[in-house]
């Protein structure tokens, strides 16, 4: 693609940090790990941060830490990346989907109560596209019904809701550092929590079930190799040091898109400044108007890509993914708001270094196809 869908923002500071680690004998479980965790916890305002190999690994350990087991139900959204539901399935739990709000595309808290059963153990909201989910009513329901809250903040580093960092309001929250995220470690993720027991369990589980301070070959429980390397931690530290600028650059690109596309008939833009929240721009996703179909949307995607412009439908709904549909028995029409949005969403090229000329070409091409693509 001449204009790729995403691109990491790597500076000389990151290259120097990685090179410095390569000149040491410690490539895993060295000093950069606690350094990165401490800096991240301080930035998030949480008591603990536990670095792991991916956001998906973090969600899995979060599900474990919330005590989810076979047959336990976890209420979550059908409009997300598949990892948020897969993490529940890993522990043989049952994802229970609740439809989304039409405007925000986040889980609709007014529908949660009706989905609660005697098997419900937790709520897993997702801060979709970096826009915070409505946490106040979710937390109120969870407290009243005795449910854990696990926040999927993998797309939302830097987002805020009610003056608090997204990801820090539940029992634990999870961030992701894939190359298209606000900061990247190549692959990687972070669990944040204020619960000492949750933090200790996640640290043990990520390292083959070994407790901190235990002999090297003593393992207290079944665990995983979900460690994050020293190289990745050094990269993350350098990126975290530039986080404010990275967030500003991404917000600037989002605003330039908004200014160029605002007022276009048949195009629904993401809210720049939703009330009571701060968006952290992970992607810039627009929606075609109500009259457009998925076939027409897909035709626009294909045409933009044929012109060298990265473009992608974002997201297909989870309940109709083949393995989830087979496991849970859902049919088209079960979650109409999520399905309607999924049929019409369109992710445009997005990263902090996108140039004005590239934004102009993307917008001009999209508007031309909207006029002629039907």
- The vertex-193 CA angle with 189 and 236, nearest 5°, equals 30
Is the Cα dihedral 181, 184, 186, 189 positive or negative? Answer: negative
**Separation between Cα atoms, residue 274 and residue 127, nearest integer Å:** 13
* Cis peptide, bond prior to residue 88, ω within 30 of zero: no
The phi, psi pair for 123, rounded to 5°, reads -120, 130
**Separation between Cα atoms, residue 10 and residue 40, nearest integer Å:** 19
- Which is nearest to 102 in space by CA: 349, 289, 330, 297? 289
Active site residue 218: no
Collapsed DSSP state (helix, strand, coil) of residue 51: strand
**Separation between Cα atoms, residue 372 and residue 266, nearest integer Å:** 13
**Token couple for 196:** 């000492």
From the candidates 181, 227, 250, 278, give the one annotated as an active-site residue: 181
> If you write DSSP's letter for every residue of 212-231 in order, what string do you get?
TTS-TT--SS---B----HH
Q: Please say whether the beta carbons of 258 and 241 come within 8 A.
A: no
Kindly give the residue spans of alpha helices, DSSP state H, lying in 23-178.
32-44, 55-65, 83-90, 112-115, 135-145
**Separation between Cα atoms, residue 100 and residue 78, nearest integer Å:** 8
Collapsed DSSP state (helix, strand, coil) of residue 268: strand
**Separation between Cα atoms, residue 273 and residue 231, nearest integer Å:** 36
The DSSP symbol for 109 reads G
Q: Which residues are tagged catalytic?
A: 181
């Amino acid at each position: 693609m001449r204009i790729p869908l995403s691109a990491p923002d790597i500076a000389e500071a990151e290259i120097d940090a990685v090179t410095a680690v390569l000149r040491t004998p410690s490539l895993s479980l060295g000093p950069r790990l606690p350094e990165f965790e401490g800096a991240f916890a301080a930035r998030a305002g949480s008591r603990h941060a536990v670095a792991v190999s991916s956001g998906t690994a973090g969600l899995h350990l979060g599900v474990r830490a919330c005590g989810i087991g076979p047959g336990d139900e976890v209420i979550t959204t059908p409009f997300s990346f598949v990892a948020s539901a897969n993490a529940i399935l890993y522990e043989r739990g049952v994802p229970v989907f609740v439809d989304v709000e039409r405007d925000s595309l986040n889980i609709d808290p007014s529908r949660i109560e009706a989905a609660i059963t005697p098997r419900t153990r937790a709520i897993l909201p997702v801060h979709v596209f970096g826009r915070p989910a409505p946490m106040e009513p979710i937390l109120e329901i969870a407290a009243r019904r005795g449910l854990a809250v696990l926040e999927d903040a993998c797309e939302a580093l830097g987002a805020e809701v009610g003056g608090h960092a997204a990801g820090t309001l539940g029992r634990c929250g999870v961030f992701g550092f894939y190359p298209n995220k606000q900061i990247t470690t190549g692959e990687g993720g972070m669990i944040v929590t204020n619960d000492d027991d949750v933090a200790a369990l996640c640290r043990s589980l990520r390292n083959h079930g070994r407790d901190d301070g235990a002999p090297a070959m003593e393992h207290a429980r079944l665990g995983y190799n979900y460690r994050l390397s020293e190289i990745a931690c050094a990269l993350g530290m350098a990126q975290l040091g530039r986080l404010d600028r990275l967030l500003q650059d991404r917000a600037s690109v989002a605003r330039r898109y908004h200014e160029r596309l605002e007022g276009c008939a048949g195009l629904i833009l993401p809210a720049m400044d939703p009330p009571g929240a701060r968006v952290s721009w992970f992607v810039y996703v627009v929606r075609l108007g109500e009259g457009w179909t998925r076939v027409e949307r897909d035709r626009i995607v294909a045409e933009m890509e044929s012109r060298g412009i990265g473009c992608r439908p974002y997201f297909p709904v989870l309940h109709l993914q083949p393995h989830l549909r087979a496991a849970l028995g859902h049919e088209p029409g079960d979650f109409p708001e999520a399905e309607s949005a999924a049929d019409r969403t369109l992710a445009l090229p997005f990263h902090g270094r996108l140039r004005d000329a590239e934004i102009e070409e993307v917008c001009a091409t999209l508007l031309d196809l909207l006029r002629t693509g039907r």
